[in-house]
Amino acid sequence: MIEFKDVGLVYPNGTEGLKNINVKINDGEFVVIVGLSGAGKSTFIRSINRLVTPTTGELIIDDENILNYSSNKLRMLRTKTGMIFQNYNLVKRSNVFKNVLAGRLGHTGTIRSIFNQYKKEDVALAYESLHRVNIAEKIYNRADELSGGQQQRVSIARVLTQQPKYILADEPVASLDPPTSHQVMTYLKKINREDKITTIVNLHFIDMAMEYADRIIGMRAGEVVFDGPVSEVSESTFEEIYGRSIREDDLRGGAKES
């Protein structure tokens, strides 16, 4: 379980990224964070694996306050927290298989990983993960030979190979066209359901959030302004999140990405 208790984050330049956040995310949930650009979605998600560090409050993951973690504990935290990025973060010149096997790095000793000595089980797991996102036929292609949607599927396979307890996806479809975005979201949801991995996704577009989320957290100016199931989202929720009523460019296809 993940619990934010009065969490605040002030960046060194004085910007308040998070203000007084109190949120509990239960195991197995599929949560989508929505909000305008700059609302704090990325800061929220990156606090969970300590890519950024909140400056006040407590962030409890599996009964421990991760804000006190030393480097050893941080490594363990990052091994159980898989991250998916907007720009895929693959090693472009490496092939798909090596990229996916990199998901085991947190579990494999440094010496083994330096010499590319992966265990048989790790290799089998990487194959299986590639099959699960239907990209196994590209296994020996270089990552930079793939389309954006294919690269994002490889990055999902890498996360699967990591066998994390939590998946954090920071704008995973912001660089993709609508059909490809739906495909990527469908894989994320399927994995959440099948493997019961708690999944937290930042999305720009509210219609896509409504389609896939169990629960929506709306953010605005560093604060949580809505937290509830999709069934409770109403016109006034949009106003709280966007400061105005819903319009065409809050919907996928309505506007260009900022």
The residues binding ligand ADP (CB under 6 A) are 11, 13, 15, 17, 35, 37-43
The closest alpha carbon to 63, from 137, 5, 149, belongs to 5
Q: Which is nearer to ligand ADP, 15 or 65 (CB)?
A: 15
φ/ψ of residue 6, rounded to 5 = 50, 45
Phi-psi region of 160 (alpha: psi -120 to 50; beta: other; left: phi over 0): alpha
Q: Which is nearer to ligand ADP, 35 or 54 (CB)?
A: 35
Q: Which is nearer to ligand ADP, 86 or 108 (CB)?
A: 86
Q: Which is nearer to ligand ADP, 39 or 217 (CB)?
A: 39
How near is the Cβ of 108 to ligand ADP at its closest, in Å? Answer: 31
User: CB 1: neighbour CB atoms within 10 A?
Assistant: 12
> Which residues on adjacent β-strands are paired with residue 8?
56
How near is the Cβ of 224 to ligand ADP at its closest, in Å? Answer: 12
How near is the Cβ of 101 to ligand ADP at its closest, in Å? Answer: 30
* CA–CA distance, 102 with 249 (Å, rounded to integer): 38
User: CB 88: neighbour CB atoms within 10 A?
Assistant: 21
Element spanning 39, H or E: none
How near is the Cβ of 258 to ligand ADP at its closest, in Å? Answer: 9
Residue nearest to ligand ADP (CB): 42
Q: Which is nearer to ligand ADP, 133 or 168 (CB)?
A: 168
How near is the Cβ of 7 to ligand ADP at its closest, in Å? Answer: 13
